[in-house]
Each structure stands twice: as C-alpha cells, then as structure tokens.
Chains A and B, each alone.
Chain A
C-alpha cells in the first residue's frame, strides 16, 4: 500500500489532524445515492460543501441525476462506471441497506485505488460484516467513520460528508469556533454544537462516530488528530457505556467528556446503539472514572459541584457541557469564540392547558422562538380550524362508528340513543359542527331551515311534484329537489361565509353569539360590502326581513348578524344564512373541532335540509307567505325542525306529546355507521367528485348518493312493522294507542297469534316452504340467551317508562315475544328489536289520522319511509362532510382483484 500510516499506532490510521477529516478538497462518491435517506440528505450536504459529491451509484438507475441546489449529481450503476466516466474521488459514503454495506465497502476499496476514507451511515450492520469491513480497511489502509453514524462535518471548511449533521439547515448549528466534537450519538453531535453556541463556543470538526460494537474511527484516533489540529483548542466527547475505546487516552487538549448511560447496566440487550452494552469494566461509571483520572478532577461536574481541571471535566448531562467547557477554558485562559446566542432555559414554543389549574412552575407561558421559527409559529396561528390528514376512507368514517356488540351507532362521539333524546334541530347541526348545538344555535338553525322549506315559485317544487306524480318513492322525490340545489345556488352564500371567516379569523372572537364583541376594527371595502347586500334580484324576496325578525323574536344572538346589521342597508338572504351558519360553527372552528372547509360548506347543508323537507310536502300546500296554511311569520319565529317534519308528514303542527316520538324516531335513524348502504352511497358520491379538490365536490349530489342508496328495502321497510300491527289491531276498537286503559287483552292477542304462527310454521315445514319472518322480532346479534333484548329497544322503553308514556303496540310486541316462547313457537324469548319500536312509535303517532281516514295505508308507508329519510339525512351529512375532509379521490373503489365474477 502506498499510503502513509501514522507511526505509534498498532493499526492503520491515516487522518493525522482534524483538519484532514472533512476538507474542501475531498471528492465524494455516494453509494445508494437515490435511497430514501440519501435523497433527502445528500442535496443539502452537497450544496453546503460547495458541491463535493462527484457522483453516486444506484444499480439500474444509471443516467439519472440527483437534483441539488448546487447542481445535478450524476448517477451510475456502479463505482467503476463512474470512474470510467472520468470522475475521481477519495471519499466513499455508504447509504446501502445493512446487508449491502460490506459489499459496498469492498467495491469502493477494490475499484478505486485513490480511496482514502469511507463514511458509513447505515445502522444495524451485522457484527459479522463490521468485522470484515474493519479487516478490509486495515488491509488496504483506509480510514472508516461509522457505521450507524451521521458522518463528519467541518465548520471552518464548510463541509459535511455523509450524514446530516446540522440537519436541513447546517448553517444554524455549524458555527465556526475552536471546539471539536466527537460523539457516539449522531443526534447529539448537532445538539451539542447548538448548546455550545449558547455559551459562545463554535466548532471546528464534528465527528459522529456511531455506537456499534465496531467504532471504526474511535476516541483514540480522534485524540491523535485533535493534538495535531491548530484550529482546535478544546474537545467535547459524548460517550456511552460499552467497549474500551476511551480507556487510557491522553487528549492533549482541554476536553469535556459527557458520559451518559448509568442506567444501561439494567439492560439485558441494547436499545438504539448496538454497542452500548457494557461488559466487564466498561460501564458508564467505569468510563467516568477513566476520564476523572485522565483529567485529575474530583468527580463529576454538576452545576452544584462544578469540579473541573485545566485538562477537562466529566459531565453526565449534555446540558452541562457548555458551562463545564467555559469553566475549563477559563483555567486555560481562553474565552468563548463569540457572544452567547441565548440560553438553554425552558422555553415552550406552543402550549394549551385547557384551563386546567396547573401550578405556576408548570404553566410556563409560550415564548417567541428565534428566527426563522418565530415566523413559522406565527404563520401557524394564521391557520384557523382543525387540520385533518387525508387517507383512503373506503368503508371508514371519522364521523360515525357502530359498536358491533350493542349495534348502537355513535356520530361524532354521541350515540344515536342519546341523540334520540335531543331536540331535532340540535341534531341537525351535530354532523357539521361536531357538537350538539346550544339553545342559541338551535334557535338560529330553526330560522335558517324554516326559510328554505316553502318552495313556492321555485322550479324545485315543480320538479318534486312531477317526480311524486310519476309514482316515485319519497327518496326519489327528495333527490329531484336536492339535485337542483347545485353550486350556483350556493355561490353567494358560501362567498359570504368565506368573507366573514376572513374578516373575523384573527379578531380574537371565540364565540359567534358574543354580541358584545367589539367589531369596530373590522371594516369592509365597497366590493365586499356589496356581497352581503340585497340587489335588484332580491327585490321581491320577503325572507331577509322575515328571517331577521324571527331571529330577534327567538332571542337569537349573532355577532355576524349584528355586524352585517351595521352595514345599514338591506341584506340578502344568503348573507343572513351565512351569518347564521357561521354563528353556529364559529366556536367549534376556533376550538379546532372542525375544519375551515366544514364551516365554509355549512350553509349548503342548511339549505339542503330545508329544501329536502319542503319537497316532501306536495306542491299544493306551498303558497306564497304560507305553508300548509301556516303563515311565514309564525313558521319562522316559532316553529321547530320537529314541527316542520311533522307538518310535512301529516300536514299539521304537532302537540308536544306528538313531537317527542318523532324526535326519538329521527334520532334513532340518524346513522348505522359507514357500512350502511345509504352511507356508502353518500361516500361514493363524494369520492367520485374528488375530495382532494374540495371546491368541486357537489354536496347536493352527495345527498343524491345517499338518497339513491335508499329504497323499499333500505328505509322503506319501516312500514312492514306497521303493516303487521295494523293487521293485528284491525277491528279491535283501539282509539288511543297511548292510553293504558285500552281494554284490549294483549296477552290473549299475542297467544292467539303465537298459536297460529306455530301452526303456520309447522305446515310450512311439511310443505318445505318458509314461514314469513315476523317484523320487529328477533335479531341476528341479540339472540341465543333464554331471554333476549335489543339494547336500543330497552333504552327507549326505559325512557318512556320514566316519563310514564304508554304505547300499546310496543306493549303488544313485548307480549308477543313471550307468547311465541310459551307456545313453543320459538326456542327462547326473542328480543323486540329497534324496528318494532320505530313501527310502534310511528303508528301510534299516526293512528288517529288513519282511523279518521285522513291518512291512507299508502300515506303510512310514505310516512315510515320519510321519517327514515329525515334521520338519515343528518347521518349522511356527517358522512359527506367527513369524506370531503378526510378522503382521497375515488377512494371507495374496490380493486379488481377483490371483485368476483359470477356466471
């Protein structure tokens, strides 16, 4: 070998001074340059070092280049090709996966006779390979740094080779000075440089040695180069237990040794640093003693016991390194390289204590970070609302989840059972603001939706009537109406919402109903002002005034309405809708419960709710100024969502006793989780528009997705239970289903039915046919016990019992399951399922009208379907909004490999 080895070492060592470790003259070849880590790190290294990488290798990728700020780095299949192309290099950097490292080192050594140094970044290299790498390097007089390291850097030469010392901004940490760092930890190499700067110490050469069993460039080698480097006045070592690498070394210059890892003696195997497992006599305590002896100090330096000597100090905490170094250097008559760059005191950058009662010493106030981080943190504050990562949302939902055991679905953390007990208008907001609306929000929501229900004069009504007359089911009628509520119809309302969000985003407003909030600093230019004001096209629209009056009548508070009121001009109804929607969504938006996108789209949902409910009312009932004979003012100012839904189903206003069952029914039907057909339809419609370009997603079309995915089997089947009950109670003289003194022997009725049923079952068995399934009885999950219950039915039954409410149909169902068992028609007592509860509640609600002839059987069927649609409209809104925020384009597709072909 032609290389000069350093005398006095029993092994080959070529680097004589730290200044030779990473020089401006070094030319570098990077193996596996296109690998994940190199692709990120090498461009920064190359640019920082003035373009020191001559080429890289990546088998099969010859001809490509790695782009860097300092120009493209050519890529070859192997080292020989690069050399043949005329590139020379003296340093190899290895980014290969562990199994390839040994061969990569062999390639570098064998192919390039001009090689002097290799830096191995790869971690988890087998000891077997490390042994052979060491032997190859020794036999061929090559210096190796690593493995499992972050390479080397030189703050004077502005060079870094191999890994990412100094991170993506090397200039921040590699400050020119007089201290060299040798560290077993790559991360701490940079961190220590950063810490040293706080005391005014800069660096010369930084070496991340790695901490594998084999440390190819070790402390002894470093000590030699340290002595011969005129630039370096002192050294910092970061050392962990395991190995005799630091034993009995004379560093020749002041040195602070940080030894960490006393606790590692508790380990039975390595964590992170493969070589940091002590054997005999090389524990952390042993190493501390080696250094204490070498430096002649009286122990380990701590702030309370700052023991140092001219030769150095031993610390256990990297935070103590700067102060210890300063103390050592003072004894040597040396002062720091530059003024302090700050302190290491605790400085929270971001915090949120959520109003907890934290002790003062824990409740540290956030401080402004140094540049450029200060601007980045400020920019974060500019962002309002939650941020949600996109992912494939096929069969997944962030909005709803069904517990497979109880079959109870929750929407945004609220179970449908709880939702069934909430006012309907509170539930209408939930899917969109992820919180149950408070009283103010509910009042505003009632106004917003009421303003959309009467469709007189709107082509929607003609279309909906035409769809109805064509014999369509209620879902198709609703879909016809929803299809017309397209983007153009919402453009102004959504623009108004955006404008208000922009105006108030950084105003400090936390609560949209806070009318005391000072808006005097918020101003509008003429163009923006015009957006909110009524134009000639709004001349005949009576709703703006009616809505504002209704809000006032209900005592509704809205800082946005108040602000718009200050414009002293007639508002258009889209502006009012936007202000109402934002009042409801503002708190959740500020609390980062919802995204800005959700707040932006809320008016669209509110308009759709109104139109979809309105479309279920035949056209003849929509009159100018009244709906089903109810004057506009009364509807706007007094009616609730439940009232409107009841009106749509029966043509009249409900009593409180009548509205409660409807509210329960709608609540129960809100969602059955993302797996239900209706949810799948809604999600598919969003996916097809492409949620990654959210502005193009048509929310009304997504509602069509839900509506087209309902039908006589899914949604319309609610009537089956009612039909069964109608048949059983035919001719029984029932007048009031809520009167417990009805005088009907339910037990006998149930027994008679059960006997007949058992007989029919036996006959069917003889014939080999199937007896018809009983609607409302039995459930595939809640079965097999002596007595079975559907927890949803139990919940509602419990609630009704507590209120003292009675429902004869429900009572009949309870008798029926017992009678089926008693007569031997069932092997155990079936559960009364939630469908029975729905049928019982709804039939009870409509019984009197049915008896009087005001409603026909067909109307009952329609009503059953419609009440399902009202509930599921809320749940679908939740899925649509969730998919819009989280999903990816076309993510509901099923891959061909998972599809089957049937012949």
Chain B
C-alpha cells in the first residue's frame, strides 16, 4: 500500500498544510496545460505508477518541458511507460504535470521506523534531489526521536545544525517539517519521503519549502489510513482478485495473509505460521501457487471460507493440496483440518472432483483427531493422501510434496483422474 507522486501526494500534504508544487492530472486539457506552462514556465511530466516505483528520474522517465508541443510529446512517451525496479515491473497509466519550482536549495526528508533505533527516525539533508546513498556521512543526518512527543522543531533545528545546513533554510524547515510527522503518524503511514523539497524564495526573500515529489507507505493494519478517504482502486494493482477476496477475511484472529507466487503453479499450500510460510515458500519455489500464512488459531468457519476461496481460484490446476505447518502451539488442528476438508467436500459437490494428491505436515493440539477427520473426508472423496506428524522434518515434508507433484506431472494426475472417473485436464 504505497503512493508515489504528487497527484495524490499533494492532496495528502494539504491535510497538514505542507506547501506543495502545483500539479495537473492526466485529464488536463491542452488549454489547461498551456495555462500551466504560462504560469510556471518549467513543468515536469511524470508517469503515474501505482505503488512504489523508485528512481524514475534515473530511468529517464521524467520529462522536463517548457512548451505545449514538448509537453504533449512527453505525455505520449510516458503515458504507458514501463519501468522495472528491482523485481517489480510497473506499467504507467497516465501522467502528471508538475510545476517546476526554481530554487537554490533542494532538501531530502524522510521519516521511517528504523530498526537500529527502534524509534521513528528522521533522515534529512540539504543536498537533496539525488540518491542519498551517494552523499557523504557528514552531509546527511539520521535522527531517532520520541514517538510520544513527536518530531519537534528542536530535533529538526539540531539536525540541520549538525550537517551545517545553510542558515537561510533552517528556520523555514524548522517551521514546516514537524507537520510531516503529523501526517505520517496520524494517518497510518509507515514511511514518508519527500525528495526533493525545493526552497522557493517568497516575498521578502524568505524561503518556503515546497514538496516536489512524494512517496509514502501505509500500514495495512492501521485503521487510521481510512481517515484519508483514499479510493480503493489506488491500491488495486497491489493485489490479485484472489488476494482481494481472501484479504477481506483478514483479522488478527486467524490470519489470512496470501501472496500469489505463481499463477501457473501446481502445489496449493495453505501454510500455518510465519516461520513455516518462509520455509515452505522457499523450498517449494515456483511449484507453489500461493505463499500464505493462515495461522493464529483461525476458527472453523473462517478456515472453511479461506479454503473455499483458495479452492475456487486454484484447485482446478492443483496437483498437490499441501497443508503444512510446524508444531502449532495453539492453533486447533481439528478445527483447521475440518474447515479445509469440509470446504473441499463442498467444492467437489458444487464444482465437481479434481484429481488431487493431499499431503499434510502438521503438529499441535488435536492433531490426530484432525488427521482422522480429514482422512474421513478424503476417503469419502476417493482422494489419495499421506499425513506426516511433527516428528518429520518440515523441509523433508515439503520436498516430499514436491516429489509427489513431479509424479503427478508425470502421469500421476491422469491415474488419479481415471480412479475418479474424471478428466485430468486442469
């Protein structure tokens, strides 16, 4: 859940009255763009990506224009631009026109929770507008501050003094930057970055910080985000329809965190526990359809609902239904296996049987009763299975599931389909 760019960023900054460069959205008419150019002279054309896509400037994805013809040419070039950053490839949908702010000073500012300090931490430099990793240690300051008192003016003033910031920028920044803590802390953000903030001279020559780019991340577990009234579709690209459906069931009591690893995978692995999630997803690799954590002692009804959604989206292509976790501490194995078994039975009843092999690796309360219940269900559905207790190494159980998947790909699926009297096709 991230937002980049000023199209939405400027709206957020208005919540705390932080000055921001003017921006026109993708729907701006030629007349509006012309008027915008007339007013500001210099205009930046930037593609709109959903989520966090860094280093657009370096990738040549920011256009700098001074006339309408160039503005429209850049709009055409950037409107559906593609940008690969790390593992993520994003496709733009639209551009913004952002007013250039003439300034001598560019400031980098961010707040995030730093694990080295275990506190909210401000990073600040008056040499902004560049990659901060490229700066010398004496040019940039990273200061933790008290979350209860917040980012106070003196914290900013001390920091700027420490890095020898030009004195004309200190006062305006000390006045304006603490507002950003209000925005970050009270609206459910985990990180907020403005780079650059340009120091625009105003009347009397006094400098005014103006945000010229915006980036923030939201905490999906914080209801304060809703205060901003952001449209859901802003974050829609983050998640597939499947994830969206499952995440509706996301509560603290019984997690339902999922991430689609490979839409063409053949092992459907409902996984229990954050640790198991890490290990299982790592060992399964691309054979896995989803990475999930359904731990946290989900009640029967919730487990059944989550499993139903998983089956609805992915069972047809699944070779191995792989229910896996460590030795649970308080997740009731009977309730979870019963929920998943009943959902499977209903899926078969409403959508017809699927040739599956079921592998389970689990430990925890009511383990054998859970195994017994699931075995009954699978027996009645005519499906083959193998259940491992907690005394088998979890990684070996994962490897076993992978081996069964290979056997399924190599004719096993057809064999099971024949037993069930159905087609093997996914």
Contact = CB atoms under 8 A, between A and B. Distances in A.
Given A98-B221, A593-B380, A131 B185 contact: yes
B51 A187 contact: no
Interface stretch (B16-24, B75-83, B168-176, B394-402): B394-402
B329 A165 contact: yes
Contacts of A350: 371-372, 375, 385-387
A188 B385 contact: no
Given A167-B330, A186-B329, A270-B257, A389 B342 contact: yes
Contact of B389 (A349, A352, A593): A349
Interface in A282-313: 282
Interface string B156-183: 0000000000000000000000000000
B129 interface: no
Given A272-B273, A593-B380, A240 B278 contact: yes
B116 A187 contact: no
Query: Quick one: which of A128, A165, A190, A359 has the most chain B CB within 10 A?
Result: A128
B279 A318 contact: yes
Contact of A126 (B224, B253, B342, B404): B224
Contacts of B259: 267, 269, 271
B275 interface: yes
A387 interface: yes
A772 B202 CA distance: 90
A45 to B, nearest CB: 10
Contact of B87 (A243, A265, A273): A265
Contacts of B396: 319, 344-346
Contacts of B282: 260-263, 316
A361 B404 CA distance: 10
B329 A166 contact: yes
A198 B221 CA distance: 39
A216 B113 CA distance: 13
Given A123-B296, A164-B330, A190-B329, A351 B221 contact: no
A383 to B, nearest CB: 7
Query: Quick one: which of A122, A125, A238, A350 has the most chain B CB within 10 A?
Result: A350
Interface in A208-236: 211, 213-216, 218
Given A185-B274, A271-B291, A380-B372, A173 B279 contact: no
Interface stretch (A34-42, A603-611, A797-805): A34-42
A733 B113 CA distance: 97
Nearest to B383: A354
A191 interface: yes
A136 B369 CA distance: 44
A362 B407 CA distance: 9
A356 B384 contact: yes
A755 B114 CA distance: 89
A352 B379 contact: yes
A451 interface: no
A903 interface: no
A269 B407 contact: no
Contacts of A563: none
Interface in B373-394: 373, 375-376, 378-380, 382-394
B407 A347 contact: no
A344 B391 CA distance: 6
Interface stretch (A368-376, A746-754, A780-788): A368-376
B238 A268 contact: yes
Contacts of A243: 115
A184 interface: yes
Nearest to B345: A398
A342 interface: yes
Interface string A82-93: 000000000000
A262 B285 CA distance: 11
B252 A362 contact: no
A123 B221 CA distance: 10
Q: Is the interface of B mostly helix, strand, loop or mixed?
A: mixed
A317 to B, nearest CB: 5
Given A186-B273, A318-B394, A271 B257 contact: yes
B364 A167 contact: yes
A99 B419 CA distance: 51
A215 B329 CA distance: 20
Contact of B113 (A213, A260, A319): A213
B389 A347 contact: yes
A273 B325 CA distance: 15
Contacts of B336: none
Interface in B352-377: 363-365, 367-369, 371-373, 375-376
A214 B379 CA distance: 46
B308 interface: no
A243 B281 CA distance: 20
Nearest to B326: A191
B279 to A, nearest CB: 5
A185 B115 contact: no
Given A98-B221, A271-B291, A131 B119 contact: yes
Contact of B394 (A198, A247, A319): A319
Nearest to B52: A268
A724 interface: no
Contacts of A173: 327
Given A128-B219, A318-B279, A352-B375, A346 B400 contact: yes
B425 interface: no
A271 B372 contact: no
Contact of B276 (A167, A187, A354): A187
Contact of B222 (A128, A275, A342, A401): A128
B391 A317 contact: no
Given A131-B147, A316-B282, A387-B376, A354 B419 contact: yes
A390 to B, nearest CB: 11
Interface in B92-132: 113-116, 118-120
B96 to A, nearest CB: 22
A774 interface: no
Nearest to B261: A266
B115 A352 contact: no
Nearest to A38: B330
Interface string A397-436: 0100100000000000000000000000000000000000
A386 B274 CA distance: 34
Contacts of B318: none
B250 to A, nearest CB: 8
A358 B380 CA distance: 21
A300 to B, nearest CB: 13
A756 B39 CA distance: 85
A809 B114 CA distance: 86
B412 A188 contact: no
Query: Quick one: which of A213, A364, A370 has the most chain B CB within 10 A?
Result: A213
18 contacts: A40-B330, A40-B332, A98-B252, A122-B252, A124-B255, A126-B188, A135-B119, A163-B330, A168-B365, A191-B275, A194-B391, A260-B275, A268-B87, A271-B293, A272-B277, A348-B386, A364-B386, A380-B368
Interface of B: 1, 51, 86-88, 113-116, 118-120, 133, 146-148, 185-186, 188, 190, 219-224, 238, 251-253, 255, 257-259, 261, 272-279, 281-283, 285, 291-293, 295-297, 299, 325-330, 332, 338, 342, 349, 363-365, 367-369, 371-373, 375-376, 378-380, 382-397, 400, 403-404, 407, 412, 415-416, 419
Given A218-B115, A272-B255, A369-B391, 19 more contacts: A37-B330, A123-B296, A126-B223, A136-B148, A165-B329, A185-B274, A187-B272, A191-B326, A195-B393, A240-B275, A263-B281, A267-B291, A272-B277, A342-B391, A349-B387, A349-B388, A353-B384, A361-B403, A398-B349
Interface of A: 11, 36-37, 40-41, 97-99, 122-128, 130-132, 134-136, 139, 150, 163-168, 173, 183-188, 190-191, 194-195, 198, 211, 213-216, 218, 238, 240, 242-245, 247, 260-276, 280, 282, 316-319, 342, 344-359, 361-362, 364, 369-370, 373, 376-377, 379-380, 383, 386-387, 389, 398, 401, 591-593
Q: What 4 A-B pairs come out closest when comparing CB atoms?
A: A185-B275, A272-B293, A187-B273, A243-B115
